[in-house]
Structure 1
Amino acid sequence: MSYKFTKWLILIVPTLVVGVWEVVRHQFLMPYVSMELGNVLTPILLFAVSITLLYRWFAYLERMQEELQRERALKARLEQREQLARELHDGIAQSLFLLSVKVDRAERQQQTAGSAYDWNELRKSIHEVNRYVREAISDLRIPPSSREGEADEASMSAIVRRIAAEQQLALRLDWQLDEADWSAKAKMELVSCLREAVINAAKHASVKDVEISAFGDAQDFTVRITDHGCGFVQDDTTYSGRYGLRIMRERANEMGWVLEVASRPGETTIAIRGGGDSR
């Protein structure tokens, strides 16, 4: 039933019930029901109708009002998140990109002039800040749940699917990770690592698909990201010049996890282990 129809029922039904009762009482029940008894039965009948029908309709109206309020609040939150994401993209993200271009230009000018300066640390800082901003934009575009009592964030597996879709990668996902008991920070860090790995595979490995498997729980888990791309040379444990991998390692170390990278032509595997498997 619609909201408007329910309101009309609440208004009309008591009047009809009382009217029908009075007609029946005066036309057919006068020999059996006295005036005094009829006057007592009328409010009793109205109360019975109110309890059986009107109470349910009022409860239905209240539920509809609550759902409407939730929908309005959700719409307002979505608009605010989208506006903030747009401002981040149009402001900070573009400014960081322009700064990165200027750093590259300054480095080329110095090389032409014959002077030397190590721009790697500055480039790393720009890359890291830009990545954080992109992550914030991406997270803001995850729609919050419209159901009361549910977490605003989507499940990690759903976020991984969305990231792969954004990068136009076919995803082969084997997600058996129990997402219960994970702290918000742990989820954020793991998703950030997965995002970094997927984006790196799309940008640098020249692949069309990626494989991700995850199993375990918050205390003991293993997540693997595999692509069958060009691979790269693992020159040292710090991955000099590979800022994405360095950031992933820093995130993993901060959480007490272990990040393992194995790469060769035709396959690169990144494993993140926590808990029992990390020892």
Structure 2
Amino acid sequence: MSLVDAPLPRGHAPSGRPSEPTVRAMEVGQHLIALALTIIGAIRAVGDGVPAAAAITAGLAILAWHTAGTFLPRKTLSPNAVVWWLVGFAAVWIAAVAVSPEFVWLAFLLWLLAGHLLPLRWGVAFSVFVFAVVAIAPILHHGTTSYANLFGPLIGGIFAFGISRGYLQLLHEAAERERLVTSLKLAQAEMSELQDELAVAQREAGAIAERTRISRDIHDTIAQALSSIRLIAHAANSRTEDPAAALSLRQVESLASDSLADVRRIVAELLPAELEDGALAAALERILDRARDEAGIAVELHVDETLPLLPTEVEVGLLRSAQSALANVRLHAAATRVVVSLIDAGDTVRMDIIDDGRGFDVAEWDQSSTIGASSYGLRFMRNRLRELGGGLDVESGPGEGTALSAYLPIRAADTGAASGTHPGDEEPA
């Protein structure tokens, strides 16, 4: 049984193994120690008058048992099997010590193995038992002992056991370093993914804001000018009696009408794809249907009948928040039911999203940014809503589901530009 291949005692983390040259050197060193001590013990036993056959048999038994531990299946080896192997090794050693006290020097190998293979409490008890055998063996064989026979093994045993425990601690620290490095690599990968997602979200938000601005500018300038030209041409055509002038005015009116239709199409295409029909409720219904079809989640949508026509930026902000929230539900909540409600709250519009998933600790989320990838989605959602003058309220608890309430002010909802009125819906006076 090699020190580097044996399972760790209970209570220790899985060991990070040393490098391959170190492993090989420790294995060879351990077997050399066993071989050298056994040979020395057998030779000294024969020199003390022990029959050569008995001394050699005892030495071979020790080497055979020690070597057998090398061939035990390491991957499937349990800590209990290791303990019983060590107990068996101690029994063989005691039998050899009964043949000759010269074999007591193999106690150093037992102390090394005990410090590595046994928990501290049992390792100390086992080491004390081994020292007791070392101290008693000379007395049983010769009727006397010496200070050297006591203090030499005692100091050596403490040293061997300490080295073994120190090596075990090094393995534990190596495993902890390996775990920390792995955790750091995972955190870096997650951070990289989040940064990519943030960059995409920022580009998307910038593109939406720019398209919305261009759409509003076209509506407020070109579309209104074309509408005015059409009305002026129509009014002038009704007052003129010159056929040629009437024809020109009709052509101007027709050209203005065609151009106005083109401008309306361009403005409609500049709006976010999900809001092409101008209905936030319809867009929410589509993404809820997608969640139901792809994830098997029961979905409900409730829309307040008194909800006014919302500005484009408000619709876009609420839609993006709903998309982010539903993505969190599908990926992290393990929910079976989601309810989305659009509520008219007077000067603000509120969107509530409630699921029956696993939930999380809101207090911990408010204080820390390490809850998981979903926490970043919630923070990005809150930041987006705050930029629009609104906010996000979160209510949740472990095992209690999650309730999100996103709210935005309805700014200038009574004007054509802010309310989402399309060009041409209002004719200039």
TM-score (norm 1): 0.47
TM-score (norm 2): 0.32
Higher helix share: 2
